[in-house]
Every structure is written in structure tokens, then in C-alpha cells.
Amino acid sequence: MFKGSLPALVTPFRNGELDLETLKKLVEWHIGEGSNGLVPVGTTGESPTLTHREHEQVVEEVVKAAAGRIPVIAGAGSNNTVESIRLARHAEKVGADAILVVTPYYNKPTQRGLIAHFTAVHDCCELPIIIYNIPPRSVIDMTPATMGELAKLPRIVGVKDATGDLARVSYQRMTCGEDFCQLSGEDATAHGFNAQGGVGCISVTANVAPKLISQMQAACAAGDYGAALVIQDKLMPLHKAIFTEPGLVGVKYAMSRLDLCADEVRLPLTGLLDETKALVDDGLRHAGLL
């Protein structure tokens, strides 16, 4: 259902406000560069610092700009089940193709609580749901057994797995089935993730290198892991540099170097240190982008 290169879309700002015109241009650029879908208002879209209305605006504008040409998986995660339900219903109302729902952060639910949370979101609308499992940010790790229980629900169709544990792909194939849509949430291991049975990546680096990442994903899908590895090697210094500081800050700086958008972020995030900027510049050069 969802596969290939799916950029975790940044939210452009200008003087503290949403830069919707640049957002629309980015959607067009991604479609032209071969991205297979877009994921607005995830963590890379700075969802933690957007107001509810801004969150809704970004989803609406991306859906409208994509115009059905590629799927839009809208971020609808929260540690508040009621709020996640509201975001899910809004995404459905404006025409998103699916929603990305993160494991609730900070309040540390049990595995039983995770099942209750995702079941409630599942039952509130008709959109397919991609689970977002990212223990380093949310503290909670959804186990393969829990994911297997949730996969029995008809609209829980896949996972964005940011555990960095490649064995998880095989474990989740065991508990969720071979057709469960497993998407990497970590650029550095995306090649190996596909070799284990993944079908794509919700990628941060794809914000600045969409064509290369789309080509790498296409090579994996064709079974040509040698060709995919050549591209991954080309991108690896950029992956590493972007995540030297928070990834969305790194990728916005990289995008600013290519005149794609401003490098502006909202507090508590701050701009890159000069030494990190130099690493990103080097990574862009290594990838042939600068």
C-alpha cells in the first residue's frame, strides 16, 4: 500500500509563521523528484511546536497540493488519545490517505495501554494507520507481540520502525504477517531494513535528496541491493551529518543551502553550530548535491 521513499516533510517557517507558499513548492518538487508519498506534521514537521490550527493547515495544504498524485500520510499522533482522535478525524475530513500515529510519549502507557490507545484511534475513522514506534523519543517501545495484536485490526496496516534494530523486521513479520507494511524510520539503516523485508523509508534526508533516496528504494524493490548500496554509500555522510544535532534542524539547514526553504526552526530547537554546518556541507558535496 505504502512503499518506497516517503519524505518526513519539513514545515517551512518565515519570520516565525508558516510559509505555506514554500510548502506547496516543496510538494511539487518532491513529486517531480520521484518521491512515493509525503508524511507531513510528524516530528520532522515540527509537530510539537505547531498549534492545532497550524497542524491542520499544513495537512490541508499538503493534501490539496498533492492532489491525489502521491499518497499523503498525515501525522496524527499525541500522548492524549482524545487529541489523536481529533487529528485523525481532521486528516480524514480533508482527504489524507492514511495517518501516522506515534506511541504515546511521556506518560509511559503499558502495552495494554498502547493497544487501547491505537484501538480507539482505529475505531474513530476509516483511514489506514501506520504505527510509529520510536522508543528513543517516546520512551515506550511497542513489542512485536503487541504490534501483532494491533495488526489484527483491519485498518492498522503498517509500522514506521525507528528502533534501529534490524531484527525487528523479521520479528514483526512473524507476529504481523508478511503483508504488514514495514517502513524504516531511520535513514542510516534503511538499506538493511529493506533486505530484512521492509518496503520503504519515511525519510528525513529525503527532504534534501529525494531523487537519490527514491532511486535507492527502487533498486531495493527490484532486488538490486548492490546498486542500492552504491547510493547508500553516497548518502551516508549526509545521513550522519544531518543527525549530528536534531535531524530536522540539520535537514532544514541542508535545504537552505539548496535554496529550498529557510533554515528557521522554533524553540526549544536552535540553529546548527558552525562545525555541524561544515559537516552537512561536506555531506552534501559527497552526495553530489552541492
Distance, in Å, from the CA atom of 37 to the CA atom of 111, rounded to the nearest integer, reads 30
Q: Are 268 and 240 in contact (CB under 8 A)?
A: no
Q: Which of 160, 252, 253, 277 is catalytic?
A: 160
Q: How many CA atoms lie within 13 A of 74 on its CB side?
A: 28
Q: Does 252 qualify as catalytic in the annotation?
A: no
Distance, in Å, from the CA atom of 213 to the CA atom of 201, rounded to the nearest integer, reads 9
DSSP 8-state symbol, 129: E
Tell the residue number behind the cell numbers 514506534, with chain if given.
Answer: 133
Cell of 178: 508478511
Judge whether 132 counts as a catalytic residue.
yes
Q: How far apart are CA 223 and CA 273, in angstroms?
A: 40
Partnered with residue 17 across adjacent β-strands are: 14
C-alpha cell at 48: 510539537
Active-site residue identified among 132, 252, 253, 277 = 132
Q: Do the beta carbons of residue 38 and residue 27 sit within 8 Å?
A: yes
Nearest to 50 by CA among 79, 10, 89: 10
Q: For 106, which DSSP code?
A: S
Q: What are phi and psi of 57, to 5 degrees?
A: -60, -45
Active-site annotation, residues? 132, 160
